[in-house]
Amino acid sequence: MIDAHNHLGRWLSGDDDWLVDDVRVFVEMLDEVGVETIVNLDGRWGAELAANITRYDVAYPGRILTFCHVDWSILGQDVDARSAVDQMTRQLAASAKAGAHGVKVWKDLGLSVRDTAGELVMPDDPRVVAVLRAAGDLGLPVMIHTADPVAFFEPLTPSNERWDELQVHPEWWFGRPDLPTFGELIHRLGQLVALCPRTTFIGAHVGCWAEDLRAVGRMLADHPNWNVDIAGRLGELGRRPSDFAALVESHPDRVLFGTDCFPPTPDDYLRHRRFLESDDRGFAYSGDPTPPQGNWTIDGAGLDPGLLPGLYRENARRLLRLTD
């Protein structure tokens, strides 16, 4: 397997420490569960990118591949649009030269990044388009996460199916009137992908809309440069396993395996295999004692075994331009 979506760096650790303590032991675990390569999305840029690449990519070549980020905060500095784009494009080229295997674009575009005028920078902002076109010219695939679960944009009441989760993480609720709606963000995402036809995109979390797989399928049909991973959305996919199976059958070369369990454990991989390969019913989508996303269980998709090599490995190898 290739786990095309994971976090091994320091960016999301909360304490500025590495999410993986002992890399050698971690790689041995990957050997045991059959993961030949894992993507680390935490490279950021500059010195942090260099630290991630040295710790992971250089020490374990071919096993761990680090993606960089773009420093969108440059758009909020006192520079004109052309200078900002030039700075970010040069940063991206430097990251590629340093060994980044792709670009991670996070949900802060459209939700928190602001320019010098104080306006939210949307995914299809011309400045963003210019930078991500440059990523395509550099041969870097772009893993993009736009918006968040639909429930995070709905009224914050006990009837919200993610009510319990949002009580623990109130900062994840985006239903405020000063923020775009979920629908607007997804529309802007589609505009971005259309405006960058030579850039390969991977839509994180099932194309950022795991709740509506028919809409995901339409976007795949409309944009040949659009692909999706399944990371972090087992709880959603397991509520609509037949729709997920239909999506993979319709687009067998466009769906990638990923977990977004950081750091992942053998049980995490076993749970994903159970969903993808079995017809089991009513099992937990998480190893946590309390379901972290919603109070439900999931059913297995029971995919045709002929679809598994592409989903598990070959689609990612093609998009990441891996060779033996």
In terms of phi and psi (left: phi > 0; alpha: psi -120 to 50; beta: otherwise), the region of 205 is: left
Cβ neighbours around 111 below 10 Å, total:
17
pLDDT band of 323, cuts 50, 70, 90 = confident
**pLDDT tens, 92-118?**
999 999 999 999 999 999 999 999 999
Instruction: For residues 30-53, give the mean pLDDT.
Output: 98
> Does some domain include residue 238?
yes
Q: Does the residue 189 lie in any domain?
A: yes
What's the CA dihedral at 286, 16, 22, 284 to 10 degrees? 0
Confirm whether 85 is domain-assigned. Answer: yes
Q: Which residues contact 197 (CB under 8 A, 6 or more apart)?
A: 225
In a domain, 324, yes or no: no
Mean pLDDT along residues 158-174? 95
Nearest residue to 4 (alpha-carbon basis) of 254, 275, 288, 266: 254
Whether pLDDT at 90 is above 70: yes
- Given pLDDT bands bounded at 50, 70 and 90, which one contains residue 190? very high
> Which of residues 79 and 182 earns the better pLDDT score?
182
Summarised one tens digit per residue, pLDDT across range 73-88 is 999 998 899 999 999 9
- Look at residue 187 and tell me if it is in a domain: yes
Averaged confidence pLDDT in the chain: 97
Dist CA 195 CA 216 (whole Å): 18
300-312 per-residue burial string, b: 16 or more CB within 10 A, e: under 16: bbebeeebbebbb
This prediction has a pTM of 0.97
CATH number for position 267: 3.20.20.140
User: What is the average per-residue pLDDT within 301-316?
Assistant: 98
Q: Tell me the average pLDDT across 158-179.
A: 96
Position with higher pLDDT, 209 vs 288: 209
Our CA dihedral for 199, 205, 208, 124, rounded to 10 degrees, sits at -30
Query: How many C-beta atoms surround the C-beta of residue 64 within 10 A?
Result: 26
Q: Tell me if 289 is assigned to some domain.
A: yes
When pLDDT is averaged across residues 288-312 and rounded to a whole number, the result is 94
Largest CA distance in the chain: 56
- pLDDT band for 290, please (50, 70, 90 cuts): confident
Q: Which residues pair with 64 in a beta bridge?
A: 38
Alpha-carbon dihedral 157, 159, 162, 167, rounded to 10 degrees = 40
CB 59 within 8 A of CB 23: yes
- Which pLDDT does position 291 carry in this prediction? 84
Rounded CA separation 217/92 (Å): 30
Confidence of residue 324 (pLDDT cuts 50, 70, 90): low
- Please name which of 83, 27, 93 lies closest in space to residue 55, comparing C-alpha atoms: 27
Q: Which domain holds residue 260?
A: 2-319
Q: Which residue has the tokens 């809309």?
A: 209
**Total structural domains within the chain:** 1
